[in-house]
Structure 1
Amino acid sequence: MSLALTPAERHALRRAVALLDLDGARFAASVALGALGLASAVGLAAVAAWMIARASQTPEVVALGVAPVAVRLFGISRSVLRYCERLASHDTALRGMSALRTRVYEILAEARTDTVAGLRRGEVLARVGADVDAVGDLVVRSLLPLAVAVVLGLGTSLGVALVYAPAGLILAACLLLSGVAGPLLTIRSARAAELARQQHSTELAATVMNVLDGADELRVSGRMPHTMADLARLESHLASTRDRAARPAALAAVMDGVAMGLAVLGNMVVGAQAVSDGRLAPVWLAVVVLVPLSAFEASAALGPASVQLVASAGAAVRLVALIEDAEVGAATAPAPQPLPTVGAAGPKLRARDLAVGWPGGEVVATGISLDLVPGRRLAVVGPSGVGKTTLLLTLAGLLEPLGGELTLDGVPPWAAERAEAAGRISLTAEDAHVFDTTVLENLRVADGTLTPERAEDLLRRSGLGDWLAHLPAGLSTRLGANATTVSGGERRRLLLARALAAPAPLMLLDEPGEHLDAATADLLVGDLLGAGTAQAPGSPGGDSESAAPSRGILLVTHRLSGLAAADEVLILGRPDDAPPGSPATITRRGTHADLAADDPEYRWSLEQEQDTHV
Structure 2
Amino acid sequence: MPTDPLLRALLLLELAPRRVLRAVAAGVATLGSALALAALSAWLITRAWQMPPVLDLSVAVVAVRALGISRGVFRYLERLATHDTALRGTTSARSRLYQRLAAGNPAAAAGLRRGDLLARTGADVDTLGDVVVRALVPIAVAVVLSGAAVGILAVISPGAALILAVSLAVSGIAAPALSARAALMSETDGADARARFSEEAVTALDHAAELRVAGQLDRTVDGAVGAERAAVAATDRAAVPGAFADAATPLAVGASVIGALLIGVNLYSSGTMSPMALGILVLVPLSAFEATSALPAAAVALSRARIASRRILALLDVAAPDPHPGDRELVGPMHVRTTGLRCGWPGGKTTAPIDLDLPPGARVAIVGGSGAGKTTALMTLAGLLPPVSGEIDVDGADLAEVRPDSLRRRIGFFAEDAHLFDTSVLENLRVARGDLQEDEALDVLDSVGLGEWVARLPQGLSTTLAGGARAVSGGQRRRLLLARALLSPADVLLLDEPTEHLDADAGAQLLRDLLEGDGNLVSWQRTVVVVTHQLPQDTSADLVIHVENAESENTLPTP
Same fold (TM over 0.5): yes
Q: Secondary structure at the match of 1:330?
A: coil
Paired residue for 1:538?
A: none
Report Cα offsets for 1:234-273 as digits up to 9, x if no partner: 2222223233445544422311111111111111111122
Question: What is the identity, as a one-letter code, of the residue corresponding to 1:509?
Answer: L
| CA–CA distance in structure 1, aligned partners of residues 221 and 5 of structure 2 | 35
- Cα gap change, 1:45/1:252 in structure 2, threshold over 3 Å: closer, same or farther? same
| CA–CA distance in structure 2, aligned partners of residues 340 and 388 of structure 1 | 25
Scaled by the length of structure 2, what TM-score is found? 0.93
In the TM superposition, residue 210 of structure 1 has moved relative to its aligned partner by 3.6
Report Cα offsets for 1:283-322 as digits up to 9, x if no partner: 2211110111111111111112212221111111222222
Question: What is the identity, as a one-letter code, of the residue corresponding to 1:376?
Answer: A
Is 2:326 the partner of 1:336?
yes
| CA–CA distance in structure 1, aligned partners of residues 351 and 208 of structure 2 | 26
Contact 1:27 1:89 in 2 (8 A): yes
Once the two structures are aligned, what percentage of the paired residues are identical?
46
Is 2:145 the partner of 1:152?
yes
Contact 1:157 1:172 in 2 (8 A): yes
- Cα gap change, 1:219/1:581 in structure 2, threshold over 3 Å: closer, same or farther? farther
Paired residue for 2:45?
A: 52
Contact 1:529 1:563 in 2 (8 A): no
Paired residue for 1:35?
A: 28
| CA–CA distance in structure 2, aligned partners of residues 315 and 422 of structure 1 | 30
Contact 1:522 1:562 in 2 (8 A): no
- Cα gap change, 1:123/1:558 in structure 2, threshold over 3 Å: closer, same or farther? same
Question: What is the identity, as a one-letter code, of the residue corresponding to 1:568?
Answer: L
In the TM superposition, residue 208 of structure 1 has moved relative to its aligned partner by 2.0
- Bigger mean CA deviation after superposition, 301-310 or 356-365: 356-365
| 1:503-518 correspondence runs (5 A) | 503-518=489-504
| CA–CA distance in structure 2, aligned partners of residues 117 and 552 of structure 1 | 23
Question: What is the identity, as a one-letter code, of the residue corresponding to 2:492?
Answer: L
In the TM superposition, residue 482 of structure 1 has moved relative to its aligned partner by 4.3
- Cα gap change, 1:340/1:461 in structure 2, threshold over 3 Å: closer, same or farther? closer
| 1:264-413 correspondence runs (5 A) | 264-327=257-320, 330-331=322-323, 334-339=324-329, 341-342=331-332, 346-359=333-346, 361-366=348-353, 368-413=354-399
- Bigger mean CA deviation after superposition, 477-486 or 277-286: 477-486
| 1:32-111 correspondence runs (5 A) | 32-111=25-104
Question: What is the identity, as a one-letter code, of the residue corresponding to 1:330?
Answer: D
In the TM superposition, residue 187 of structure 1 has moved relative to its aligned partner by 2.2
- Cα gap change, 1:107/1:341 in structure 2, threshold over 3 Å: closer, same or farther? closer
Report Cα offsets for 1:520-563 as digits up to 9, x if no partner: 2122222222388xxxxxxxxxxx94222222211111122275
Question: What is the identity, as a one-letter code, of the residue corresponding to 2:540?
Answer: A
Q: What 5-or-longer segments of structure 1 have no aligned partner? A: 1-7, 533-543, 575-579, 585-614
| CA–CA distance in structure 1, aligned partners of residues 162 and 538 of structure 2 | 86
Paired residue for 1:178?
A: 171
Q: Secondary structure at the match of 2:392?
A: strand
Contact 2:349 2:551 in 1 (8 A): no
- Bigger mean CA deviation after superposition, 449-458 or 492-501: 449-458
| Alignment equivalent of 1:233, drawn from 223, 226, 237 | 226
| CA–CA distance in structure 1, aligned partners of residues 135 and 151 of structure 2 | 24
| CA–CA distance in structure 2, aligned partners of residues 145 and 246 of structure 1 | 23
| Alignment equivalent of 1:552, drawn from 510, 523, 527 | 527
- Cα gap change, 1:417/1:376 in structure 2, threshold over 3 Å: closer, same or farther? same
Paired residue for 1:424?
A: 410
Question: What is the identity, as a one-letter code, of the residue corresponding to 1:141?
Answer: R
- Bigger mean CA deviation after superposition, 349-358 or 411-420: 411-420
Q: Secondary structure at the match of 2:431?
A: coil
Q: Secondary structure at the match of 1:436?
A: coil
Report Cα offsets for 1:72-122 as digits up to 9, x if no partner: 111111111111111110111111111111222222233322232221111
- Cα gap change, 1:59/1:103 in structure 2, threshold over 3 Å: closer, same or farther? same
| CA–CA distance in structure 1, aligned partners of residues 505 and 517 of structure 2 | 14
Paired residue for 1:166?
A: 159
Paired residue for 2:439?
A: 453
In the TM superposition, residue 175 of structure 1 has moved relative to its aligned partner by 1.0
Q: Secondary structure at the match of 1:573?
A: coil
Contact 2:351 2:548 in 1 (8 A): no
In the TM superposition, residue 394 of structure 1 has moved relative to its aligned partner by 1.4
In the TM superposition, residue 278 of structure 1 has moved relative to its aligned partner by 2.6
Report Cα offsets for 1:475-500 as digits up to 9, x if no partner: 22233454221111111111111111
Is 2:442 the partner of 1:442?
no
Contact 1:93 1:137 in 2 (8 A): yes
Q: Secondary structure at the match of 1:338?
A: coil
In the TM superposition, residue 216 of structure 1 has moved relative to its aligned partner by 5.5
Scaled by the length of structure 1, what TM-score is found? 0.85
| CA–CA distance in structure 1, aligned partners of residues 479 and 21 of structure 2 | 52
- Cα gap change, 1:355/1:563 in structure 2, threshold over 3 Å: closer, same or farther? farther
| CA–CA distance in structure 1, aligned partners of residues 24 and 344 of structure 2 | 53
